[in-house]
């Protein structure tokens, strides 16, 4: 190789070495959870608390009335159909033990479609659950009766606070209603209604 060619090669060598050298990788943070503190995806909700309970009819197989302080509960599982809009299946009920008007127990149970909307960023929710309901009455002397399947609903308004990326805990006020005919020879319509203050937990 001629002297001018050798000099040119020596001049270009550092540049070629730098061009082939790869830059050191830049440290990156783990990707953020874009669904945190948002109501999207799978929805699971439970609530439980005390309240009041009134079941009344103008006669029929079960007597005339039952009232007292029940345990109220609900469990819902579904998902978001749009952000902050939830559609889920729900089982709910109000169990009254030792009614003030009689012995035994009275339970209103319902199964329905939970429609919930969250008002963000306040994380306030409104729930409506149109339902099929059944009233069960145990008179305390070994006799248990069930009404026919009827119509009912559950309505709740609550507020939750985030305790994790996807978990919220809160409190809600609730009202419920069931309208059921008993199975007597002359069916009587039972009206069951009540409400309460419930503690709630939600994964979303």
Q: What is the pTM of this model?
A: 0.78
pLDDT, averaged in runs of 10, over the chain (204 residues) = 56 55 60 86 96 79 73 97 97 84 80 98 97 87 83 97 96 96 80 95 96
Report the relative pairing of strands 144-146 and 150-162 from DSSP bridges: unpaired
**Residue 18: its pLDDT value, please?**
52
**Residue 27: its pLDDT value, please?**
59
Give domain limits for the chain: 42-203
Domain 42-203 bears CATH identifier 3.40.50.2300: no
User: Is there a contact between 171 and 142 (Cβ–Cβ < 8 Å)?
Assistant: no
Nearest-CA neighbor of 134 among 73, 192, 48?
A: 192
Q: What is the rounded end-to-end Cα distance, in angstroms, of the chain?
A: 73
Q: Is 7 helix (H, G, I), strand (E, B) or coil?
A: helix
User: Is there a contact between 130 and 154 (Cβ–Cβ < 8 Å)?
Assistant: no
**Residue 6: its pLDDT value, please?**
54
- Nearest 10 degrees: Cα torsion 84, 87, 89, 90: 40
**Residue 123: its pLDDT value, please?**
97
**Residue 34: its pLDDT value, please?**
87
């Amino acid at each position: 190789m001629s002297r001018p060619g050798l000099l040119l090669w020596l001049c270009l060598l550092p540049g070629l070495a730098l061009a082939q050298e790869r830059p050191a990788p830049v440290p990156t943070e783990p990707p953020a959870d874009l669904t945190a503190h948002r109501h999207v995806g799978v929805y699971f909700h439970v609530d439980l608390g005390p309240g009041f309970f009134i079941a009344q009819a103008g006669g029929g197989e079960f007597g005339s009335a039952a009232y007292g302080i029940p345990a109220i509960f609900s469990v819902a599982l579904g998902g978001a159909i749009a952000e902050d809009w939830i559609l889920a299946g729900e089982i709910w009920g109000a169990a009254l033990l030792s009614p003030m008007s009689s012995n035994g127990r009275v339970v209103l149970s319902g199964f329905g479609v939970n429609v919930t909307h969250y008002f963000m960023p306040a994380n306030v929710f409104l729930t409506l659950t149109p339902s099929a309901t059944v009233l069960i009455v145990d008179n305390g002397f070994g006799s248990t009766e069930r009404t026919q399947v009827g119509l009912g609903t559950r309505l709740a308004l609550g507020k939750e606070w985030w305790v994790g990326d996807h978990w919220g805990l809160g409190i809600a006020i609730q009202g419920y209603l069931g309208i059921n005919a008993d199975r007597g020879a002359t069916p009587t319509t039972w009206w069951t209604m009540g409400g309460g203050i419930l503690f709630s937990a939600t994964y979303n």
